[in-house]
Structure 1
Amino acid sequence: MIALPFVRPLFWATLAAIMFQPLYQWLFVRMGNGPNRAAIATLLIITVAVLIPAFFIGGIIIDQAVAVFLAFQDGKIDVAAWFMQVHDALPAGVQSTLDSSGFANLDSFIARAQDFARESTGVIAQSALAIGSSAFGFVLAFGVGLYATYFLLRDGRSLGEAVVAGLPIERGLADRLAEKFTSIVRATVKGSIVVGLVQGALGAITFSIAGVPSAALFGLLMAIFSLLPALGPALVWIPVAIYLLAIGEIWQGVIVIGSGVLIIGMADNVLRPILVGRDTGIPDWIILVTTLGGIGLLGLSGIVVGPLLAGLFLAGWAILQEQREAKTA
C-alpha cells in the first residue's frame, strides 16, 4: 500500500528496463564491465531518444486538443455543417442515393458525433490541466520512474532470477513463464506502441503536408486506432480524405489516400513481422479484446497489461496441458 501511488511509474520503469536491457548489456561490455556507467549511459539515451521527443510532441498535441476543445465550446466547429458541405459537394446521383437511403437527415447521428469529438478533445485538455495542477506529483512520479529504471537496468537480471527462484512452483515451469513474460512484454511494446507511433507519425506528416489543421492531434488518433487490426488507421484518414475531396481540395485528398494506402497501411504489414515475429503466440482477436479491455480498466498501462495477462494465462494453460499429457503417456 505504501508504494501504491507509484505503481504506474514503477510499471513503466520495469517495461523500460526490459526493453532496453540489450542496449545496457551492449554498453556494459564496451565500458569495461562498469554497471553504473552503463546504466547511466542507457538512461541518458532513453531520455534523449524517447522522453524529450515525447514531451515535445505531447506538448504540441495538448495545445491542439485544447484549441479544438475551445473551438467546440465557442461553436466555431459545426460537424453538421461539415456533413452538409460534404453531402452538397457529392455528385447528384450519389446525393439521391444517400437521400433515398435515409442518410440525408442524420441529425441524431451528427449530434452524437459532435458530442463524441467534443468529449474526446475535452479528455485530452482536462488531462493536461490535471497534470498542470498537480505538477509536483507528476515530477515526483517521473523522478521515481527514472530512479527505478536505473536500478532495474543495473540489477534487473539478478532481481529477475531471485523472483523466479522464489516462485512457489517448479523451477522449469517458472523459467518458462518468465521467458514468456519477457517475450510478451517486448512483443507488445514493439507491436502495439512502436508500430502505432510510426503510423501516427506518418499520418501527422501526411495531414500536415495536405494542410489539415491539428495534424498532430489526428496523428495521435491514428496511433490509437492502430490498435484495431486491419482497418485501424484507415478509420481516421479515410474520412479526412473524403472531406478534402468533397470540398474540392483534390490533390490534398489524393495525397492522403496515397499515403494511407501505400505508406501508412504498409507500415503495419512491414514493421510488425520484423519487430514482433512470433514472440506472443496470441491470436489477434485476443490481443484486440485484452488491449481494449486493459485500456478501459487501467488506461495507457492496459496496452501492455491486457495482452500480458492473456499471454501468461495461455502459456500456463499450455504448460499444464503438456504436463497432463506427459503423465498420461
Structure 2
Amino acid sequence: MPTLHFRSFLLLLTAVSIAFISILLPFYAAIFWGGVLAVIFNPLHRRLLRLLGGRSPNLAAFLTLLCITLIVILPMLFITAALANEVAGLYSRINSGQMNLGGYYEQIVGALPPSVHGWLDSFGLGDLLSIREKLSAGALQASQFMAKQAVSVGQNTFQFVVGLGIMLYLLFFLLRDGPAIVPKLKRLIPLEDSHRHGLFQKFATVVRATVKGNIVIAAAQGLLGGLMFAFLGIQGSLFWGVIMAFLSLLPAVGASLIWVPVAVYFLVTGALWQGVVLILFGVLVIGLLDNLLRPILVGKDTKLPDYVVLISTLGGLSVFGLNGFVIGPLFAALCMACWDLFPDAVAQHQLGLQQEARRSMDKPDPGA
C-alpha cells in the first residue's frame, strides 16, 4: 500500500475509533463489567460447554448467564435495596438527633482519666463543644450526601436498568464467542507472540485476582462485621457492614477504621464485654481473614505490593468512581507487567538490529 494511502487509512481508522468510543462512553461501566464477568466466569462456561459435549454454545452461555444472575446480580440488587432503606433510616436518626456523633465523642472524653485530657488539649482535641459541633455537622453532611445518592439512584432507575440489560446482553456474546474474539484482539497488538500471550494472561489473572480475591475477602469481612454489629445491637449494622466491606479493599487499615472506634466507645463507656468481644472478633476473625483467604483466592504470584494496591485503588476511585477499585489495580498490574516485559523487548529489538546488520554486511555488493 502506498505511503499516502496507508497514512490516510490510519487517519480514518483513528477518527472512526474515537467516534465509536465516544458513543460507548455512556455505557462504559456496563461494558467493563460485562468483560470482567466474562473473564471470571469463563472457566464455568468452558466446563458447562464440555458437559454439553461442545454442541450447544448458546445453551452453555445461557446457563452461565443464569448462574451469574443468581450468584451476583440478584444478591447485589437485594443488598442495594436494603442499603438504601438503611441509609434513609440513618439519615432520619441523625437529622432528628437520635444519633449524635458529637455526643458519643463527649461520652468517650468524659470517661477518660484527667491525665488524658491534657494530652488531648495539646492536640487541639480537648475543646468538647467545638469538636462536638464539627462531628455533628460532618455526620449530618455525610448523611445528606448518602441520602442524595440514594435518591439519585432511584431517579436513574431507567438508566440503571438499561445498563444492566446491556451488560447481560454483551456478557452472553462474550461468553459464547470469547474463543473467537480473543485471537482477533491479540492480532491487533503489534508485539511478539510471547509478549501478547503474556499480557493477555496477566490481564485475565489480575481481573480474576482482583475481583475473585479482593471482592470476596471484602464481602466476607463486611458480612462478618455487620453480623457482629447486629449481635451487639448497633444500629445500622447493614450500612456499617457495607462500609467495612469497601474499606477492606484498602490494605493495612481496612475494616478496622470502623470497628476499632466502636470498640473504644464500648470500653470507655463501661460496656466492657461488648468492647472485648468486638476487639477479639475484629483481630482474630476479621483481621486474620485476609491472611487466610488471600493466598488461596489471589495467590502469591499475582499479589501486588500493598502500597501499590492502596495508591492504585484510591486513584482509581477518584478517577473512575466506584468502578475504580477494580480498574485502578488492573492498570497498575498491567503497567508493572509491561515494565517486566521491557528488558526482554529491548533485548529482542537489539538482536533483530544485529541480525539485520549482519545480513546487510553479508549481502554481496552489486558493483563489485
Whether 2:145 is the aligned partner of 1:123: answer yes
Distance 2:91 2:187 in 1: 52
Q: How many Å separate the matches in 1 of 2:140 and 2:38? A: 37
Q: Match of 1:141?
A: 163
Q: Is the 8 A contact 2:40 2:212 kept in 1?
A: no
Q: Give the 3 Å change call, closer, same or farther, for CA 66–180 of structure 1 in structure 2.
A: same
Match of 1:65 among 87, 91, 94: 87
The aligned amino acid for 1:250 is L
Q: Which has the higher contact order (CA 8 A, sep 6+)?
A: 1
Give the partner amino acid of 1:26: R
Select the residue among 17, 25, 29 that pairs with 2:50. Answer: 29
Q: Tell me the alpha carbon deviations over residues 171-213 of structure 1, each in whole angstroms, 9 at most, x when there is no partner.
A: 2221111111111111111332221111111100110111110
Looking at structure 2, the residues matched to 152 and 109 of structure 1 have their Cα atoms a distance apart, in angstroms, of 54
Deviates more, 1:262-271 or 1:120-129: 120-129
Give the secondary structure class of the aligned counterpart of 1:3. Answer: helix
Deviation at residue 298 of structure 1 after TM alignment: 0.7
Q: Where does residue 363 of structure 2 map in the other structure?
A: none
Indicate the residue corresponding to 2:40 in structure 1.
19
Tell me what 2:176 maps to. 154
Contact persistence 1:199–1:233 (CA under 8 A): yes
TM-score when scaled to structure 1? Answer: 0.92
Aligned residue in 2 for 1:171: 193
Give aligned pairs, total: 329
How many angstroms does 1:168 deviate by?
2.5
Q: Which residue of 2 aligns with 1:226?
A: 248
Task: Determine what percentage of the aligned residue pairs are the same residue.
Answer: 39
Task: Note the 1:305-316 alignment, pairs <5 A.
Answer: 305-316=327-338
Larger CA deviation: 149-158 vs 112-121: 112-121
Structure 2 unaligned regions, length at least 5: 1-21, 352-368
- Once the two structures are superposed, the pairs formed by residues 227-306 of structure 1 within 5 Å of their partners are 227-280=249-302, 282-306=304-328
Distance 2:145 2:33 in 1: 22
Separation in 1, partners of 2:40, 2:229 = 31
Once the two structures are superposed, residues 203-255 of structure 1 have per-residue CA deviations (whole angstroms, 9 ceiling, x without a partner) of: 00110111110001111111121122222111110001111222322222222
Larger-gyration structure (1/2):
2
2:64 matched to 1:42? Answer: yes
Unmatched tracts of structure 1, length 5 or more: none
Structure 1 pair 325/108, CA: closer, same or farther in 2 (3 Å)?
farther
**Displacement, 1:321?**
1.4
Offset of 1:109 from its aligned partner? 4.6
Amino acid at match of 1:29: R
